[in-house]
């Protein structure tokens, strides 16, 4: 292991060693819950954003330039077809239209934004994480970039952000005729899944919605649950951040889901969603980590030329890329500001209710497999769990991080 990787591992281990045990506080939803979910229009049909990752994929994937163009085209189409539910923020990222978030609101800042013409939709706290926020409505006809600029001037010293959208990072193709048995080294443990709702899994202990219309079954989340079961995970907690909200998968919903899972004592959380950096979600992730939660996230499928993916790029999040059956990193794999592990993200199958056994592709499916390996060892503490994962990982490199985990975990059940 080179010096930079060793230094990063020592730093991460030191941080995890300082973490406390599972939080005991019970999560309680704020009185006014609008949370999140996702729809998009394709012609006359409406489909879940949470299920866009299970669209057919071809045998060949384009190069980095093609992936970058595809990403821009996809996001532009999403905004244009959202019926006004999604618009561009000041960084040209899709976000919930007509709303912004004010962090750590106080009487002075609330008065200032009110005087500037912005009404408070909801004021609350991410329970168990202690992060206060206010949702503000943007005056009719005003764009998000203009609103953000105005509010930052009105309330200097406060973080004000758009509520950006996060997207799944995987795909499924034709039904698989056979399935390869998974033979993980260890079985057991609990994983929290932040995604759409899980259907058809006997491993789900509890499921909670953080979106309008949630919990609503998602093929993407159900495929992830199938992989986790095949990898030997004993218990799942499911947080649906999509439901049927046209602006689903937003930062506020994910932050609420992180808080709920932490409050339930879930020590390992898997997030197969990608989006831009967001100060509210960044703080939620850090607060959960400080309470002993290990967060595992996919690097996305927009290629190496795409912007760094979040939450995978937040400090000390376990960032995961995908490999195929021959151990090659997926050409469409995105990037994060750091990389920890790789796991199977192609030449794998999962059982999806109503679809049977289907082929999967994408870093979405690699992240939960890494989460399964950490969760199986978490009883001995986070440091021991990561050390055990490092011992299992094979083929460390710049493109696979500390190596490939769960290499034989290629069939969900």
Among 109, 169, 364, 372, which one carries the catalytic annotation? Answer: 364
Q: What is the pLDDT of residues 134-153, one digit of tens each?
A: 999 999 999 999 999 999 99
Give mean pLDDT, residues 228-249: 96
Among 220, 222, 245, 302, which one carries the catalytic annotation? Answer: 220
Higher pLDDT, 158 or 45: 158
| Fold assignment, 3-30+166-392 | Rossmann fold (3.40.50)
130 closest CA partner among 95, 104, 100: 104
- Taken in order 155, 129, 8, 310, the sign of the CA dihedral is negative
Asked about 324 being catalytic, the answer comes back as: no
Parse the chain into domains and list their residue ranges: 3-30+166-392
Q: How far apart are CA 76 and CA 234, in angstroms?
A: 40
Terminal CA-CA length for the chain: 35
Query: How are beta strands 131-137 and 94-103 bridged, if at all?
Result: antiparallel
Asked about 364 being catalytic, the answer comes back as: yes
Least confident of 2-11, 35-44, 131-140, 401-410: 35-44
Q: Which residues contact 101 (CB under 8 A, 6 or more apart)?
A: 133, 134, 135, 136, 160, 161, 162, 163, 251, 252, 280
Among 34, 127, 163, 195, which one carries the catalytic annotation? Answer: 195
pLDDT at 249: 97
Residue 412 near residue 272 (C-beta atoms within 8 A): no
Average pLDDT across the chain, whole number = 85
Token pair of 326 as six digits: 């021959």
Q: What is the pTM of this model?
A: 0.84
β partners of residue 134: 102, 123
Asked about 240 being catalytic, the answer comes back as: no
pLDDT reading at 237 higher than 50: yes
């Amino acid at each position: 292991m080179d010096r930079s990787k060793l230094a990063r591992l020592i730093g991460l281990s030191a941080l995890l060693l300082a973490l406390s045990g599972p939080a005991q506080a019970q999560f309680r939803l704020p009185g006014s819950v609008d949370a999140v979910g996702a729809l998009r229009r394709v012609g006359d049909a409406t489909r879940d954003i949470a299920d866009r990752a299970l669209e057919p994929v071809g045998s060949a994937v384009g190069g980095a330039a093609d992936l970058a163009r595809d990403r821009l085209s996809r996001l532009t189409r999403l905004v244009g077809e959202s019926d006004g539910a999604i618009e561009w923020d000041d960084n040209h990222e899709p976000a919930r239209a007509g709303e912004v978030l004010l962090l750590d609101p106080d009487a002075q800042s609330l008065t200032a934004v009110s005087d500037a013409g912005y009404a408070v939709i909801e004021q609350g706290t991410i329970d168990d994480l202690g992060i206060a926020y206010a949702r503000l409505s943007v005056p009719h006809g005003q764009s998000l970039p203009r609103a953000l600029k105005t509010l930052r001037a009105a309330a200097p010293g406060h973080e004000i952000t758009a509520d950006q959208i996060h997207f799944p990072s995987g795909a499924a193709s034709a039904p698989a005729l056979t399935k390869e048995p998974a033979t993980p080294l260890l079985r057991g443990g609990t994983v929290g899944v932040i995604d759409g709702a899980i259907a058809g899994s006997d491993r789900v202990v509890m499921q909670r919605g953080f979106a309008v219309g949630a919990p609503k079954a998602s093929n993407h989340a159900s495929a992830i649950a199938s992989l986790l079961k095949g990898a030997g995970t004993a218990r799942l907690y499911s947080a649906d951040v999509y439901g049927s909200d046209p602006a689903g998968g937003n930062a506020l919903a994910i932050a609420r889901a992180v808080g709920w899972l932490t409050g339930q004592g879930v020590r390992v959380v898997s997030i197969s969603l990608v989006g831009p950096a967001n100060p509210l979600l960044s703080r939620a992730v850090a607060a959960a980590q400080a309470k002993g939660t290990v967060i595992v996230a996919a690097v996305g499928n927009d290629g190496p030329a795409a912007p760094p993916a979040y939450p995978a790029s937040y400090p000390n999040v376990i960032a995961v890329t995908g490999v195929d059956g021959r151990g090659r990193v997926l050409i469409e794999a995105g990037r994060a500001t750091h990389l920890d592990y790789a796991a199977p993200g192609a030449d794998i199958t999962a059982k999806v209710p109503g679809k049977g056994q289907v082929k999967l592709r994408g870093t979405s499916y690699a992240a939960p497999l890494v989460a399964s390996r950490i969760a199986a060892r978490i009883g001995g503490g986070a440091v021991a769990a990561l050390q055990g994962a490092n011992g299992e990982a094979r083929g460390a490199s710049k493109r696979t991080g500390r190596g490939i985990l769960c290499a034989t975990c290629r069939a969900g059940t």
